[in-house]
Amino acid sequence: MNLTEQYAHELDTAHPSATRSQFIQLPANRGAYPHEAYFAGNSLGLQPITTAAAITDVLESWSQRGVHGHFTGGDPWLHYHQYVNEALSRVVGALPQEVSVMNTLTVNLHLMLASFYRPTAERHQILIEDYAFPSDSYAVRSHARLRGYDPDEAILRLRPRAGEDVLRTEDVISVIEQQGPRIATLMLSGINYLTGELMDIAAITAAGRKAGIFVGWDLAHAAGNVPLSLHDWGVDFAAWCNYKYLNSGPGAVAAAFVHERHLADPDIQRLEGWYGNRLETRFDMAPIIDTPPTAEAWVLSTSPILAIAPIRASLEIFDSVGMPALRKRSLQLSDYLLSLLDDL
């Protein structure tokens, strides 16, 4: 591979739609490291150039319209989240009605587990990675405990083979096939935060569903990083944060996915709040909820518009470039970096 700086500039010129400098601001104050490269997008993505303007637009609408901002202006807040849901659906390969921007990642995992962890005496285990992100482990253990089970027995942990660092897909499927009658829910990371392993979501989901298991994914390190096809893969549920690869700011509002086949299920259990009521009847203020056949049925509270504005700014970039182009660029940059390191 050509490793010259000139070649790097030529690659930038050849792929202008995916050039970072068009969209993202590098930190101006880098202290003692003025020439550092930013490799912390897995922790906090950088700020899109249009983020400040998006937030300012909301602030100006608030100052000029007050409560009327919910219903008037160029972007009424009542519908502000809809573009975000639609754009996120394109990022994760879902139908727009299957996605909802809301809460934070772990809160959404709790909401999903409330619906998709349905333990019985014979089938009450939850399957996760042994080295899952701690918050995921805390969440599943707390749900097992809440339903009256011993977490140490109810949580089944996947471990790599001796001397290996990542899970093999065939081993995961083998556990599903052997232990399936005891497993109620599978919740794995699409990309593991510690090893960087990209799981075969399609194959594992298919195996889990064949075994009668509800299959969910924590996509914190996958959403906005790799192409996904949650609807076509048949994933039951998923949740992710938006502040990493989706560049939406520290502690940004997260999102969740619920497959279409569950959206009109009248018997599904949910933890509910008033913003999960169908828009057409929300202001009837009825004591019994009237849920829509969308993932918005899981929304609890009023959309935090100021927090959603940065997500909207970022997703406009993803819409303009597209996940296939971003993934191609990502692989190209990774290959280039590895070649540079090998050349040291």
pLDDT > 70? residue 134: yes
- The whole-number pLDDT of residue 26 equals 75
d(CA 40, CA 294): 34
For 32, counting Cβ atoms within 10 Å of its Cβ (0-12 exposed, 13-18 middle, 19+ buried), the class is: exposed
User: What digits encode the pLDDT tens for the residues 300-326?
Assistant: 999 999 999 999 999 999 999 899 989
Beta-carbon contacts of residue 239 (< 8 Å; ≥ 6 apart): 105, 108, 109, 112, 216, 217, 218, 219, 254, 255, 256, 257
Tokens describing residue 54: 């998006």
User: How many CA atoms are closer than 13 Å to the CA of 48, on its beta-carbon side?
Assistant: 23
Per DSSP, what are the bridge partners of residue 214?
A: 185
Task: Write down the pLDDT at residue 253.
Answer: 98
pLDDT value, residue 17: 61
Per residue in 62-107, pLDDT (tens digit) is 999 999 999 999 999 999 999 999 999 999 999 999 999 999 999 9
Q: What tokens were used for 62?
A: 């608030």
- The CATH number of domain 55-321 is 3.40.50.2000: no
Q: What is the length of the chain?
A: 344
pLDDT in tens, 162-177: 999 999 999 999 999 9
Res 232 pLDDT > 90: yes
Beta bridge pairs of residue 100 = 256
User: Quick check: 305 and 58 in contact, CB under 8 A?
Assistant: yes
